Amino acid sequence: MSAQPTQATQPKPPARSGGAAALGWILTIGLNVVAPIITYNQLHDHGWSEFGALLVSGAWPVLDSAISLAWRRKLDEFAIVTLVFLVITAVVSLVGAHSARALLIKDSGVTGLFGALCLATLLAPRPLMFYFGRKFATDGTPESTAWWNGLWQFDGFRRTMTVMTTVWGVAYLAEAAVRVVLAYLLPTDTMVVVSPVLIYGTLGLLALWTARYAKRSQAAGERRAAEAAEAEARAQAEARARAEAQAQA
Structural domain boundaries, residue 78: 15-217
End-to-end CA distance of the chain: 51
What is the pTM (predicted TM-score) of this model? 0.63
* Strand, coil or helix: 249: coil
Residue 44 falls within a domain, yes or no?
Answer: yes
Cα torsion angle, 80, 83, 87, 89, sign: positive
Quick: pLDDT tens for 133-192: 887 777 666 777 788 888 898 888 899 999 999 999 999 999 999 988 998 888 888 888
Quick: pLDDT tens for 45-91: 788 876 677 678 777 777 776 776 676 665 555 555 655 665 666 66
Residue 235 falls within a domain, yes or no?
Answer: no
Residue 143 CA, distance from chain mean position: 22
- Residues whose CB falls within 8 Å of the CB of residue 128, separated by 6 or more in sequence, listed in order: 81, 117, 118, 121, 165, 168
Residue 154 falls within a domain, yes or no?
Answer: yes
- Listed residue (89, 24, 96, 95) closest to 57, CA to CA: 89
Quick: pLDDT tens for 181-229: 998 888 888 888 888 888 878 888 998 898 899 888 878 877 777 777 7
Number of domains in the chain: 1
Distance, CA of 162 to CA of 186 (rounded, Å): 36
Quick: pLDDT tens for 88-137: 666 665 665 566 677 777 777 778 888 998 999 999 999 989 988 887 77
Residue 139 falls within a domain, yes or no?
Answer: yes
- Residues whose CB falls within 8 Å of the CB of residue 55, separated by 6 or more in sequence, listed in order: 93, 103
Residue 174 falls within a domain, yes or no?
Answer: yes
Residue 243 falls within a domain, yes or no?
Answer: no
Distance, CA of 225 to CA of 129 (rounded, Å): 24
Residue 245 falls within a domain, yes or no?
Answer: no
Residue 162 falls within a domain, yes or no?
Answer: yes
Position 183: which residue type? A
